[in-house]
Amino acid sequence: MERDYDDIPGTYLLDSRSYRKGYHVNMFLMSLNKEVCRDEFSKDERAYLDTFQMTDEQKLAVLERRYLDLLKLGANVYYAFKLVSFDRQPPQVMYGQMADPRLTFDEFQQMMHEGGRPIHGNRSVEEWNNG
């Protein structure tokens, strides 16, 4: 079913569609709140992932830390942070990786220092296509 926010570009929110698609990957990410699960995951990432009913595509995206793909496969960004924290990385690494075009840590910091990504031109897919 279509939603009135579907034309907002580059935006992935947790609704009933992504909820169902991303249920197991999000529950995996959620488990990293627990130290005992983080320990399991450190020992053997693949083996730990195999205890969740995730698709292979989702597992690979986790293993390869492809964050944008994770969102496309149903993960929510607040859940995805758990993986960034697990890696002891600053979130800007994830932000830069997801940005289009991609940005390094410094480039992302620079964009934010200059006031962030401007809203003008970023409100709708139509604006993007005409941009």
Partner 1 sequence: MANLIAGMGTSHVPGLGVAIDNGKTQEAYWKNLFLGLEPLREWHRANVPDVNIIVYNDHATEFSLDSYSTFTVGVGESFKPADEGWGRRQVPAMQGHPELAWHLIESAMIDEFDLAVNASMDLDHGFTVPLSVAYGQPSEWPTAVVPICINVIQHPLPTALRCYKFGKAIGKAVASYPDDITVGIWGTGGLSHQLGGERVGVVNPEFDQQFLDNLTRDPLANTRLSHTDFIREAGCEGVEMIMWNVMRGALGDNVTEVFRLYHVPVSATAYGAIILENKKRRNEQ
Two structure tokens written together for 30: 């959620």
Query: Does residue 60 interact with partner 1 by CB under 8 A?
Result: no
Query: Does residue 61 interact with partner 1 by CB under 8 A?
Result: no
Segment near partner 1 (CB under 8 A), from 40-48, 58-66, 78-86? 78-86
- Residue 61 sits at the vertex; the CA angle it makes with 55 and 67, to the nearest 5 degrees, is 130
Residues 80-99 within binding reach of partner 1 (CB under 8 A): 80-82, 85-86, 88, 91-92, 95, 98-99
Total binding residues for partner 1 by CB under 8 A? 56
81-89: long-range contacts, CB 8 A cutoff, minimum separation 24? 82/29, 82/30, 82/32, 82/33, 83/29, 83/32, 85/32, 86/32, 86/38, 86/41
Selected binder of partner 1 within 2, 119, 129, 130 (CB under 8 A): 119
Segment near partner 1 (CB under 8 A), from 39-47, 57-65, 104-112? 104-112
